[in-house]
Structure 1
Amino acid sequence: MEHQSENKDMNHEFLPMTSVANNTGDQVAPGVFVLTTKIVNVYFIQCSEDPSTYYLVDAGMPKSGDMICEWAEKWFNHPPKAILLTHGHFDHVGAVNDLAEKWQVPVFAHHEEIPYLNGQKDYPKPDPSVNGGLVTKLSPMFPNHGIDLGSRIQPLPEDGTVPGLAGWKWIHTPGHTPGHVSFFRENDRVLIAGDAFITVKQESLYQVMTQKQELNGPPKYFTTDWKLAEKSVQTLAALEPSVAATGHGIPMNGSKLKEGLPHLAQNFNELAVPDHGKYVD
C-alpha cells in the first residue's frame, strides 16, 4: 500500500479534517481511512490478516466514482474485495453502480435494504416539514428512488459477520432506513456508524459547510422510524466505541464521543427527534 500513516493516539481528540469542499482523505483508526466526497464520507477498511486486501464502505455522492477510484489507487493500487453499504440513500450509493461494474466486485447490504438496491422499491420521500435548516428545505429535491444493482447485490450473512473481513461485524441499526447497518471492530471498538447517528447538524447548510463537530441523530428529513432510530443509537452507545466514523461529519473520538454518545442515547427524544413531521407522529 502506497499510503502510510502513523496510527493516531486514540486517547487524543482528532484534529478536524480539511473542509469537505476539498475532498481530502485521512486515516481515522488503524487500517481505516475516510474520504469525504462533497457532503458524505466513504470508508476504506484494510484487512488485518492481509493488508493488501480492503473493502469500501458506501459509495458517496453521484459522480464521485473517479475521486473514489483515485484514492483507492493512491492507498492500495488495486480494487477492493467488495463494497459494503450502510444503506441505499442517494448520497451513499451515488457511484456504486459505476464502481461495482469497473471493479467487478460484489456489493453487500442488509436483506431489508436490498429491495431498494435491486429496483423493487423507492424510499419514502424526504420530509421538509421537520425543524431544521436550509438543507431540510431543499430536501424535496433529493432523489428518493431506489437503484438496481442486479446480480451484484448480495445480502450480508445472517450471523453478523462480514465475508473475508475478520474482526469486524455488522449490526442492524434501522430507523433511518429499514435495513441500515453499522460496522464494528471489536478488538479496538472502532465503529463505522453510517447515518445511525452523525457528527454534524446535517439539516443546516452552514454547519455542513463548516463541519462543526457535534453529535446528532440521523438526518431528520430522511428518517422514517424514530422509535427504531432511538433503539439503534442506544445499541451503538452500549458498545462504548473508541472511534465513531459517521456518514456525515468529522470522525469523533475521545471525551466528546465517550460523554456525548451516551447523552444522545439517553436523551434521544429531546435531542434528535423533530418536534413535528409526517414521520414523527
Structure 2
Amino acid sequence: MKSSLVRRGGLLAAVVASVVLAGAAPASAAPGDGSAYGVKVDVKLLGQNAVKAGPFAAATTAGPTSSSLAKADVPGILTAGVINAEAKRDENSGAVTAKASTADVTLPLLKAALGDVGIKLVEAVCTATQKGVEGSTKLVGANLGSVGAVDAAPAANTQIKVGLGALNVATIILNEQVKNPDGSLTVNAVHVKLLGGGLKALGDGDVIVSSATCGPAAPPMPLASGAGLWIGLGLLGAVAVPVGTRILRRRSAQA
C-alpha cells in the first residue's frame, strides 16, 4: 500500500507542478533589453579625415550593466567630463531602465556658428514597464552660444537650426526620441546633425551626447499566479481529498 501511495503522491505533485508552472509561464521568454552610453561621434568635417569615436562608457542589460569614464575628448569636436551609464532589468517585474549622464560638455564643433556652447550636465533616461515605454531628458546649465539658454526639460524632439551666414549647416535635436521597429525607444539627450552641402558647410555626420535605449519590457515571471495557481490548487483538492478518504477508510477497517 505504501508503494501505491508514493506513486499517487508523485503523480499528484507532477500534475500540480505542471499546471502551476503553465499558468506562470510568460507569453514570450525573450527578456527586455536596454543600453546606454555617454558620447558617440561619427562625422566628416570639411577638408578633414572622418572621425569616429565611442560609444564612450557603454552599458547594456547583458553586461556590463554600468559603466563610467572620467573624461572624453574628441579634438575640435567635443569635450566632456565624467560619464556614467547604466542599463538594468528587474527580473521580477520585467521593467527595464537605461540612463546616461555626461558632465561638463563643450562643443567646439559649433563654435564658428554659435560661439561657445556648453552644458553642465546632459542626462537621458528611458524606462520600459508593462504599461509602456517612455523617456526624458534633463539639461543643467545649458547654454548654446548665440541661441542662449534652453529649457532644462526640453519637449521631445525639440529642434534648433544652426546657421553659418545664410547657410543652414546643422540641426541640434534636444530630447530626441526615436521609436524603433522592435518596440524599443531610444532617447538621445543632445543630437547634433551636420547637414553637409555647400562650400561653407561644417561637414556631415552626427554627434550624440547621452543616449539611452530600452524596451519593450519583458513579461513578469512570478513563480505562480492567476489562473495557473487556482487551477493547480483545485486539482490538489480534487485528487488529495479522495486519496485521504481511502486511507482513513482502510485504517478504520484495520482497527
TM-score by length of 1: 0.29
Richer in strand (by share): 2
Higher-Rg structure is 2
TM-score (norm 2): 0.31
- If asked which structure has higher relative contact order (CA below 8 Å, sep 6+), I would say 2
